[in-house]
Structure 1
Amino acid sequence: MTIAANIIVVLVALLHIYFLVLEMFLWDKSVGRKAFGLTLEQAQSTKVLAANQGLYNGFLAAGLIWGLSMGSAGMHIKVFFLCCVIIAGIYGAATVSKKIFFVQALPAAIGMALMWLA
């Protein structure tokens, strides 16, 4: 179970690196606008906010990678950052789109469950 849990944690970290790239660098490009359903005008007017959001996603990824790098001693760090991801995903699902729950919160919750089963 530990290997499966760590694989999921890696995937969650990679997702958040992808979110960082989308929000910080591709927000007003066609791929970013398509991912978030934005017009060019909407993307341009929210670009700075999105970049800030992307930075936070990068911090989540960094925390998960930090926890992974510590081996079994990093479990509490992984738990903390997975909790952050789950809470952010639930909030995003409640305020923006239900899809966020499935893309962000659910993978983190699966990782958390696998860690506790290990």
Structure 2
Amino acid sequence: PLDIDNVHILLQEQEQIQKRTFTNWVNAQLTKKRPPCAVVDLFNDFRDGSKLLDLLEVMSGHRISRERGRGMFQHRSNIEKALSFLKNKSIKLVNINIPDIIDGKPSIILGLIWTIILQYH
């Protein structure tokens, strides 16, 4: 029987499968970057915006300026640049915002990657 605990476990398993699949897809794209780079943990590695910008550069073929540094201001700025880049390409971003990416929220990160896949693949 499907009780709430079983549903929760099924959703966690599905999230892990999507995370693994999307991590593999992102890394396949990032091998094209010079020098190549990779993500280890999809939910953590996008938090500073730099890997997200790397992915968008590879997929779009455009250079995107970025903030150097390890502070929260630079992280927010890089994520904002990535989201603005997508919006300027007329890509609809529903409920995807900077704090959720900084927090590494799984549903937001997976939705963002799916949106990028649909647009560029």
Same fold (TM over 0.5): no
Q: Larger % of helix: which?
A: 1
- The TM-score normalised by the length of structure 2 is 0.29
- The TM-score normalised by the length of structure 1 is 0.30
Q: Which has the higher contact order (CA 8 A, sep 6+)?
A: 1
